[in-house]
Amino acid sequence: MTPTKAPTDSYFHLHLVSDATGETLITVGRAACAQYANVLAIEHVYPLVRTMKQLDRVLSEIESNPGIVLYTLVDNEIRGRLKERCRDLGVPYLSVMAPIVRLFQSYLGGEPTPRIGGQHSLDAVYFKRIDALNFTVMHDDGQMTEDLENADVVLLGVSRTSKTPTSIYLANRGIKTANIPLVPNVPLPSNIETLRKPLVVGLVASPERIVEIRQNRLLGLNAADTGTSYTDRQAVSEEIAFSRRLCARNGWPLIDVTRRSIEETAATILALFNERRRQQLAET
């Protein structure tokens, strides 16, 4: 459909209509919105829309707040009703999956078998991800270090280098991840330098960034900065220097997360992990 004239305000309404969880739409919608730094998207997310009654409530909301409509709907009748009403209202709409499914169909041939929320099936991949999440939670922040050899990835880093959120992100990809904090005057687990199976990765950031995050954390906890080494720039610099020396001595890859998002850091780790796995398979 030919889109209507763009609004002149600095925001617009983005309607995400799905018969499943809506995660695909949210990801795609936000990725597109990120290309427009000066415009704010007001998200309206409608998951599990599987009946006409549910759709009517969605359509009422779209009518009250016109904007872009993205959808993933399997049911032909519900999908047709949404498209018809969007045309009547003059709002732009798009099936996010349709162009991709058409490409698959042209290459693979035959008709697809539509399944609501098919990517969330309770299959082996799903249970592998749950297993990875359980492992990662139990091995967060230096816990249960006696069985680190069972991890896929072990993250090392000083406080505030995003070890835990990066670990959880990797676990969602099915990667069993443990993370170990590097704390001054606290010895590392005795087995850390003899690990064979896991990929060990160090995370660092600039001293300025670490100090800023730590100060903000103290403020959030209503804790006074008593001048301890936790937020002292020189002390933080020494912590980071130690982590760099440790990784260099053991040949562990080191990632500077100063200007990286969690997703970018995790993507780099996944690339290292997959390359290491390919090398291991080639050697067998």
Q: What is the pLDDT of residues 224-247, one digit of tens each?
A: 666 678 999 999 999 999 999 999
Tokens of 253: 């890859």
Identify the pLDDT of residue 227: 61
Is 190 assigned a ligand-binding role in the annotation?
no
pLDDT of 80 > 80? The answer is: yes
- The pTM of the full predicted model, rounded to 2 decimals, is 0.75
The CATH number of 11-118 is 3.40.50.2300
Is 128 assigned a ligand-binding role in the annotation?
no
Kindly calculate the radius of gyration of the chain based on its CA atoms and give it in whole angstroms: 24
Could you tell me where the DSSP H helices lie in 118-232? Answer: 124-138, 163-171, 207-220
Domains 11-118 and 124-283 share a fold: yes
**Out of 67-71, 151-155, 157-161, 279-283, which region has the weakest mean confidence (pLDDT)?**
279-283
Domain locations along the chain: 11-118, 124-283
Sign of CA dihedral 132, 175, 241, 225: negative
Is 206 assigned a ligand-binding role in the annotation?
no
Q: How far apart are CA 91 and CA 68, in angstroms?
A: 6
What CATH class does 124-283 carry? alpha beta
Is 5 assigned a ligand-binding role in the annotation?
no
Is 80 assigned a ligand-binding role in the annotation?
no
* DSSP-assigned letter for residue 160: T
Tokens of 263: 């997703």
Confidence of residue 149 (pLDDT cuts 50, 70, 90): very high
pLDDT of 58 > 90? The answer is: yes
Is 157 assigned a ligand-binding role in the annotation?
yes
Contact (Cβ atoms closer than 8 angstroms) between residue 248 and residue 261: no
Calculate the CA 240 to chain-centre distance: 26
Residue keyed to tokens 């409509």 = 69
Confidence of residue 280 (pLDDT cuts 50, 70, 90): confident
Neighbour count for residue 47 (Cβ, 10 Å):
17
Is 164 assigned a ligand-binding role in the annotation?
yes
State the average pLDDT over residues 79-101.
Answer: 96
- The beta strands (E) that lie in 10-79 are given as 11-18, 40-46, 67-72
**Out of 45-54, 106-115, 126-135, 146-155, which region has the weakest mean confidence (pLDDT)?**
106-115
pLDDT of 113 > 80? The answer is: no
Confidence of residue 8 (pLDDT cuts 50, 70, 90): low
Q: Of how many residues is the chain composed?
A: 284
**Out of 32-41, 44-53, 79-88, 225-234, which region has the weakest mean confidence (pLDDT)?**
225-234
Is 260 assigned a ligand-binding role in the annotation?
no
